[in-house]
Amino acid sequence: MPLWKPLETLPPVASDPHVIAAVLVPLYEDGGELRVVLTRRPDGMRTHAGDVVFPGGKIDPEDDGPVGAAIREAWEEVGIPADHIEVLGGLDSLTTRSQEMWIAPVVARIRRPAELHPEPGEVDAIIEPTISELLDDAAWTTQDWGGHTLWFHEFPEGILWGATARMVRQLLEYFR
């Protein structure tokens, strides 16, 4: 089965008016495996300090919506050029732990540049796990937070949890 076949059924990117931010869920093939690009935010960030996240941020008026914002942010944060990105669809829009910011995840196939360039003010580390690694349920833990189950996946660079973990878990459902 081709690596991309499960993603043919992705829904379109959310265009809901309450969505004010977008992230790119960048996927690429590497040695017969699919990988995803995540980042770790610096500890000194005003919000979500130290979190493992997808490249993304608020939608600017000139972005032309979530897709434009996700593509712009991927360029600014890790150096993925727009012409290396093919949007495949979206995941469910969701909020962060503050529940103030609705985020549209934009899933894309990328042609990974030879080098990714982390923006030092926004990215401390780039993490590129395989989908196979993320599908290993033994690598995940859960905790109950006020009646909500939160997922956690630990990398040497940091812990994936919260809204980004929910996005990753939804993406993985396409591969199960």
Q: What is the pLDDT of residues 38-50, one digit of tens each?
A: 999 998 877 777 8
| Chain position carrying tokens 């960030």 | 45
Instruction: Flag whether pLDDT at 34 surpasses 90.
Output: yes
Q: 16, 31, 43: which is closest to 130 by C-alpha?
A: 31
Instruction: Flag whether pLDDT at 85 surpasses 90.
Output: yes
Instruction: Flag whether pLDDT at 153 surpasses 80.
Output: yes
**5-173: CATH topology:** Nucleoside Triphosphate Pyrophosphohydrolase (3.90.79)
Whole-angstrom Cα distance, residue 149 to residue 131?
Answer: 22
Joined together, the tokens standing for residue 174 give 């396409």
